Every structure is written in C-alpha cells, then in structure tokens.
Amino acid sequence: MFKRIQNLPTAVRHSLIYASALAFSKALALIMVPVATNFLTPEDYGRLDVLQTLADLLSIVIGMGMAETLFRFAGSADDDDERRKASANIFGLAICLGLFSLALGQFLAGHISQWLPGNIAELEARLILASLSMVGTILVPLAWLRMQGSAWSYFAGTAGRVALQVAIAVPLLFMGFGVTGVLSATLISAIILCAWLVRSQWKDTGISFEFARFKAYSVYGGPLIFVGISGFVLGSFDRWILADTVGTAEMAQYALAAKFGLITAVLIQPFDLWWHPRRFSCVKEQNGKERCAQIATIGVAIAILSALIIAATGPTLVRLMTPEAYHQSIAYIPWLAALAALHNANSNLGFGAMSAHTTVKPAIIDGIAAGIALAGYLLLIPIYHAWGAIIATSLALSIRMLATYRVSQKALNLPYRIRRLSLMVCSGLFCLVMLPGEPLSLMVALQSFIVLSGFVLSCIFLGILPKPAISLQKIKIMLGR
C-alpha cells in the first residue's frame, strides 16, 4: 500500500498528505462540536464566535499576506540561494510584526473587550490577542515547508497543534472553565507550535533583517491586508452585525452553520496547498499558461463538488452532533457552503492579478465588494436576519468574482474555456437545489448520491475532469511529476 502511494505523482501524493492533515485536524474539531455545545450555552457559543471573528480579522492584519509574499518572492527566485534569503528576511519581518502586535494587543485588550459585542471579558480578549501575535511566525515557516515539499513536516505541525489544543480544551471544559478554557488551550498550543517552527526555520534558512528588502515585501504584502480585511467583511463581519441585531443566541445558529459550511474550504485546501505555491513557477514553463488555466479550472470543479458534499452531509451531522436547540442552523448550511466555493473560485481564477509586482488592484476590487456587502448587511440583516446576510454576501462575492477575473485576464491572459466553466457552474447550482434537506434515510442518501454523481459526470462530459479510464501516466503529465 505504501509503495503504491510512493508511485503516485508528487502532486497527488503531497495533496493526500495535506488532506490527511486537514482531515485529522477537522475530525478533532468536529469532536469538539458536541463537547462545546453541551458545555457552552448558545450565548457562550456566540461569545466564543465573536472572539473567533476578531481572530479572523486581526490574523489578516498581523499576517500581512506573509505566506503570499513568500510564494511571490521566494517562488519566483532564480536560484536556491536567493529563495533562502527571501525566506529568511520574510520570516524576520514576520517576527518584528509579531512582537509589535503582542505589545500593542495587550496594551489595548481592555478597550477591545469593551468594543466587542457579547459582553467579552478582558481576560478572554488578552488570551485571544496573545495567540494572534504568533500568526506570522507560524504562517511563514508552514508556507516554506509547503514550498520545499516537506508535506510530512507540515502534517506534524498542523495536526499536532490541533491535537494538543483539543487535549487541553476538553479537560478544561469538563472542569467548568468554559470560553476561557478553550482560549487557554488555543494559546498554549500556539506557543508550542511557534517554538518548534522557529527552530526549524532557523536551522533551514536562518533569520535575516535586511530592512532594504522589507520595503519590496511591504509593497506586495501591504495591500493584501486590505484584501484580507475585505475578505473578513465578506466572510465574518456579518456575525458581529447579527449579534448586535438579534443577540448572540440566535447568531450562534448562523455561526454553527458557517462552521459546517466552511468545511467546504477544508475539502478544497489540499488542492490549494499543493497548487498555490507552484503556480508562479508553473506559468514560466513551456505551455505554462495552458497548464495554469487547466489546473485552475479543475480547482473550481473541486470547490463546487466540495460544497455539494457539505450541503448533502452537513444537516445530518448537525442533527447527530448537537442538541436540538442548534438545529435551526441546518437551513443555512447549503448556501454558506456555496459561498465558500465561490470565494475559493475567486482565488483560483484570479491568479493573473496576483502575479504582478503589486497587489493594489485586487485590494481595490475586494474593498468595493466589501463595501457592497457591508451596505447589504446594514440594510438586509435587520429585516431578514441570517438570510439577509447570505443574500448580501452572495451579491458582493459574485461582483468580486467577475471584476477579479477581468482584471486578472488583463494582467495575465490565461486560456480559460469560459463556456465550459459557465456550464459547470450552472450544473453545480442545479445540483445544490436538488439536494434533499430531510433527516437521513435510505431514500435521502440515494438521492444525494445521484445528485453528486450527476455533477461529477457533467464535469467529465465537459472535459474538465479526466475520464476514470485515464492512465496514471497521463495524470502525471497533466499535474507534473
């Protein structure tokens, strides 16, 4: 069995390892769902989600697009020496940002806890802010491991952190520490992972502080902060408005649905973890543009299929794993999964905009989309509550997708087959509507299987996915050994 895995193309083998890391991590996270929902009231769960939403926002600012900057400058370097210099300096920049954010976060923790909705305690704010200060010093070494093809080391880091976090959080919840216990487990696991990664990066590339290089990295990575903040508005800020409008108890229903809906991104991530660091070098190869377009289209197909899988299985998981008080969330899961797929398609088809020397244009597009979403939230959430958030996000993400594609094609014209792409998206939407939402039964399982199989067959018929009979050698040629 192990020998067969070793004979697979490198891309497939690494994607399987990344998928295993994600599957292990998310399996443990899913184990935490029934534990957390039984030990935390909906109000507590909503408060924890407010803090997680804060983490989503600040991790963007503190991370400052470090992983993408590493891919851009180290990935396009002409030789290995320059790659290592770029990595060492980007890691040095990440350490500087982490130390600054740690000091600033602890200084402002009391004020931040008062600004947030949901009656957040100052200690809770201090714990989450301390964890966030290590974002950059964790992201850069993990991104470097992916670039180096060190898939097993990446597995050890990501899966090990989650395992440690769960091992600490569960006893603390049983002992009655509640939200504080969960946040303490997050901080301890982050410290241990950060220490291991700093040591690993130091041994591999060293750490450099060539401030002359920091300017070029900031010009590229700086606008990605605004891209990330816009992504936060499009993906998480609606929960703050919901919490303020309808209260944390009702918002917890939407937050739980979002947690399941975003498993879509987890299913897509093995592909992204393999492809995104390599596309900058791939486009320079012979027939690189054609190959980039082909693989990006496969990525969109994987995103849609992942959303359909979550839409089919998510409601059953909620019924099995949570108390009945949380079952209102089931109605939102298919549409939040679809939004996660749309978000991912934007990053796959928007490669052209990311290949330039600056990321100002993506930042402008995302800023406009975030403004549209924010206006929609303020207008629709007070009237339609969670459905208002879904409608506003759908409109904003669709506009962003079209604008990003247009700008990307002007920057780097890739030969996408637009008609086939459009037909695949229509097929995906049709399948989403056709999926049953009733409690699990033999007929429901059969109908879901038929719908999912129908989408896969449509992708094969359109020539987007390879036929099952395709040889291993052809897969190796397409993905690259």
| pLDDT, position 431 | 92
In this prediction the pTM is: 0.65
Residues 6+ apart with CB under 8 A from 304: 341, 345, 424, 425, 428, 455
C-alpha distance from residue 199 to each of 59, 160, 251, 443 (Å) = 22, 16, 41, 54
pLDDT values of the chain reduced to their tens digit, one per residue, 481 residues: 445 555 556 666 776 777 777 777 777 777 777 788 788 877 787 788 888 878 877 776 666 677 777 877 776 666 778 888 888 888 888 888 889 889 988 999 888 888 887 778 889 889 999 998 888 888 888 888 887 877 788 888 888 888 898 889 889 888 888 888 989 998 999 999 999 999 988 988 888 887 777 777 777 766 666 666 676 777 677 877 887 787 777 777 888 888 888 788 878 877 887 777 777 777 777 788 888 888 888 889 999 999 999 989 888 888 887 777 778 888 888 899 999 899 888 888 887 776 666 667 777 888 888 889 889 998 998 888 889 989 999 999 999 989 988 888 888 888 888 889 899 999 999 999 888 877 777 888 898 899 999 999 999 888 888 776 554 555 555 555 4
Q: Which two tokens stand for residue 30?
A: 């899913």
Distance of CA 405 to the CA centre of its chain: 20
| Whole-number Å distance between alpha carbons of 452 and 136 | 38
> CA 246, 116, 158, 34 torsion: positive or negative?
negative
* The predicted structure's pLDDT at residue 204: 85
Is the CA virtual torsion 340, 271, 310, 173 positive or negative?
A: negative
> Do residues 143 and 70 touch, judged by C-beta distance below 8 A?
yes
> How many Å apart are CA 351 and CA 358, to the nearest integer?
13
Residue 251: enclosing H or E segment and its boundaries?
Answer: helix 248-261
DSSP state of 467: P
Contact of 462 with 298, CB cutoff 8 Å: no
d(CA 188, CA 365): 37
Give the number of other Cβ atoms within 10 Å of residue 146's Cβ.
Answer: 23
Parse the chain into domains and list their residue ranges.
Answer: 1-209, 222-481
339, 392 in Cβ contact below 8 A?
A: no
Contact 393, 234 (CB under 8 A): yes
Q: Show the tokens assigned to 475.
A: 């897969």
Q: Decide if 318 contacts 256 (C-beta within 8 A).
A: yes
Q: What is the model's pLDDT at position 354?
A: 67
